[in-house]
Each structure stands twice: as structure tokens, then as C-alpha cells.
Amino acid sequence: MRGGGLLVAGTTSDAGKSVVTAGICRWLVRQGVKVAPFKGQNMSLNSFVTREGAEIGRAQAMQAQAARVEPTALMNPVLLKPGGDRSSQVVLMGRPVGEMSARGYHGGRQQTLFEPVLACLEELRATHDAVICEGAGSPAEINLRRTDIVNMGIARAARLPVVVVGDIDRGGVFAQFFGTTALLAPEDQELIAGYLVNKFRGDVTLLEPGLDMLHGLTGRRTFGVLPYAHGLGIDEEDGLRVSLRGTVRESVVAPPLGADVLRVAVCAVPLMSNFTDVDALAAEPGVIVRFVDRPEELADADLVVVPGTRGTVKALAWLRERGLADAIARRAAEGRPVLGICGGFQALGEHIEDEVESKAGAVDGLGLLPVRVRFAREKTLARPVGEALGERVEGYEIHHGVADVRGGEPFLDGCRVGSVWGTHWHGSLESDGFRRAFLREVAAAAGRAFVPAPDTSFHTLREEQLDRLGDLIEEHADTDALLRLIEEGAPKGLPFVPPGAP
């Protein structure tokens, strides 16, 4: 096999495209297939930095891990990072190329990106046995079909067979499958090979008559029914779910080692980015992570995290409006732990000069760390390695703000003053030794008899999750049929389902 491909589309956003794509990648690589993930255009504030210094969607980095390959910009050539309801930063081949309104993007810019996107896909297909592509939203967004470069536009150009995923847990999945197909043009319908039901609960034999009727209505088969799997969250494009939290909460073999648990409150700031930073905390037995938006919710927290954001100045205003800023300042004065990451680190500083992100000019920070921040037009994208609390730390940086640290104890690229820490490094808590040392510091400052588990490996937990995704595909999908699709393309003679695209 060389250059085979498949597009995993969805009836809606959050239907399960990302995890199904990852599951197929993990299943294929276990069969000895050299596979790569691909998403032509991604809209997400959850991003990652590749080793060559390119910014891509974190979901594609996760899928690359599932495929056991190094993530590259080829896997996500266009990344849109929302800065508000109507505009996004456009990242092309891992580098920002400007801000653009949704109207401006869909009005012309998107079409100019089609050739680079297609070229990236073809390069991956030339160097891999198979490329598993993820769509975005729904392929039946009839208002956007003309400029589509991620769903049927790329499928038709590259002659990719398409499997449509539907979330049955939400209800209405048969109507979604039928309606998605029936709203596509005949040329697009030719590539819709069939369907994959996701998040099914109960007796599958009760579902089978509906699947038979769907086949009669559309002429297309269902390639599998994936059961609802608890605790199976993996890096998502957006949302507030802590990816590994479910695993820890459901575990009966990993109770807290000490007498106490640690409670972590994460401020749910606007335009929150890389909320996956706290996944590694949630993976620790006895650590309870929750997202909060009220000062009262900080009262019993042993650690408050101010996370990254695409809008530092907006997040500052939100913290002040909600009363969270005062609550965080009181914590700091009492010696209770606070951690700021990236935009959260910037917010904890003394002063911000921003003529780039918010264009607000001079803005006072919370004044908890001796740091002054100036926003540069050039974005910092890096994969730093360092040491903190006597442990090796790896991370990644994605920020326009340049920090001038004027005091405190050095902490990664930031600083620490008492029980307040700040750093630009995303992903640092995934370094197991450092995470344990940090939690010991937090427990001591909070007066908790909490003991971090000596053997929690975030990498191992992630691998176990990816293997579970591969198992779901292997055990509940028709893998022989999926492999034929990848190798041979969509079956010939698939019937047209009226009315088609308007």
C-alpha cells in the first residue's frame, strides 16, 4: 500500500472525528501500516509546537502520537485561532500570517489556501502508506461548500473516500446521516462510502433495524457502532473537558497516597488556550481539577491556575469584573499557591504594553509577579528544555508577549515569588518528576497531607488512551472494509440521494 487515504467527516462538530481519526491511526500502525494524520484547516485555541517550530492543532499532534510519527506542519497546514466572535489569527504552515474576519476568510482568502493544503496532503501520501484525514464541522454546510478546503473540497480533489461519524448519544443520528448525504452534490455523494456510529449505549441489536433502513434509504452501509467509552477524552480542539480526568476518577486502583486530596481551580478565562496543560494534574491520583468562574469557588482550592489565553487583556478585565482578581490577590498575600501559564503568567505581572493582540496599549496587570510584558508582532514558537525544582522539564511556547522578569526566583523562563509561580511554558506539567516536585510544594504551602504517586507516567497514560481508541476501532468497526476503502477508494455506483445540494 502507498498513498492510500480516508476522510473522517462528521454530522456535527464534536461528533467524534478527532478521536475516530486517532483510533484508526493507532489501529493501522499496529498492523504495520505507515500512517499519518491530516487536517487541512483547523479552528482551535488548543495548539502545539512541532520540533521544527511550527504551530499546529493539538488534536493533530495527538493523532500523530497515535500514528507513532513526529507531528509536522504538513499535518495541519491551516490553523485558525479565534480572537473574538468574528475574527481569527490565520496560521499557515505553522506561522501566523495575519488576522482576518470570517467574512474576509470565506470571501476569498480560504480559496487561495486550497493549493497549499492539497500539496501538503499529497506530500504526506507520497511518503506514507496511508493518510487519515479529519474533516471539520459537517460536510453539509451548504453556505460554505464553495470555499471548502477541509471536507468535500479536499475529498473531491484528492479522490478520498469519506466515512461520516455521528454521535448517537445526542439523538437524531439517522436523520443526521441521511440529511448530510442528501444535502451534497452528486459528485460529492459519490465519495460518501458510509457511516460510523459513535458513543452508542445499550444493546446494538436494537439499533440494527435502523441501520438496515438507513442502508435502504441511502445505499450506504454502516462500518461500525462504537460504544460509549467513559474516561476516553483525548486532546480536543476546544471545550472545557479535562482529557484524562475521567480515567483518574473512575480508577479503583489508584486512591490518594496521602491523607488529603489536592483541589485545583482553573480560571475559565475568555479565549482560553491549551487548557490541556492541566490534564497532567488531573492524571495524578488524589488531584481534583475543576474550571471556575466565581471567586467563591477559589475558597477551598489548594492551587489556582490562571491558564493561557488568546486575549490576555480581555482575560484581565474578566478576572477583575468577576471578582476573581481580588480573590487571587488575597490568596497570594496569604501564601496560598497560584500558577500562571502563558497568558495567565502575563496577567500576574505588573504591566502590559499591547499594541498587537488587543491593541489596548498600556494596561496594569495583577501585580503579583515582578514582570513587565510587551507584545511583539513576531510570535514566539519554541520547544524549550530546562530545569526547575531540581527536575528536568520540557515544554512548548506559543505567545506574542515578551516578558521582562525583574525579580523573584527563576522559574523556567518566568519567576516565582513566594507561592506565586509564572511561566510561558505550556506542557511543563507533563514532565513527571517536575510535576511531582511541584505538587509537593503546593501541598506544603496549602498545609495538605498530600503525597504524589511515585509512578504516575503521563506519557504511559496517554499511550493507554490511544491504545483504547485503537481497540475500539479493531473490536467494533469492520476493519477489513475500512482497509479496502483506504486502499481502493469509495465503491463505484453509490446511489444519488435527492435532493442534493441546492
Label residues 100-122 b or e (16+ Cβ within 10 Å = b): beeebbbeebbeebbeebbebbb
- Sign of the alpha-carbon torsion through 247, 253, 256, 257: negative
Q: What DSSP string describes 441-485?
A: HHHHHHT------TT--HHHHHHHHHHHHHHHHHHHB-HHHHHHH
Pick from 249, 225, 244, 222: which is nearest to 233 by CA?
A: 244
Pick from 339, 314, 321, 324: which is nearest to 292 by CA?
A: 324
Active-site annotation holds for 476: no
Q: What three-state secondary structure class fits 244?
A: coil
Phi, then psi, of 322 in degrees rounded to 5: -80, -10
Q: Three cell numbers at 219?
A: 445505499
Which H or E run contains 259? none
Active-site residue identified among 120, 342, 399, 424: 342
CA distances from 109 to 97, 149, 154, 420 (A): 11, 11, 16, 43
Contact between 9 and 154 (Cβ < 8 Å): no
Active-site residue identified among 399, 400, 426, 476: 426
Active-site annotation holds for 415: no
Query: Rounded to an integer, what distance in angstroms lies between the CA atom of residue 361 and that of residue 236?
Result: 33
Bridge partners, 363 (sequence order): 352
Question: Catalytic residue positions?
Answer: 342, 426
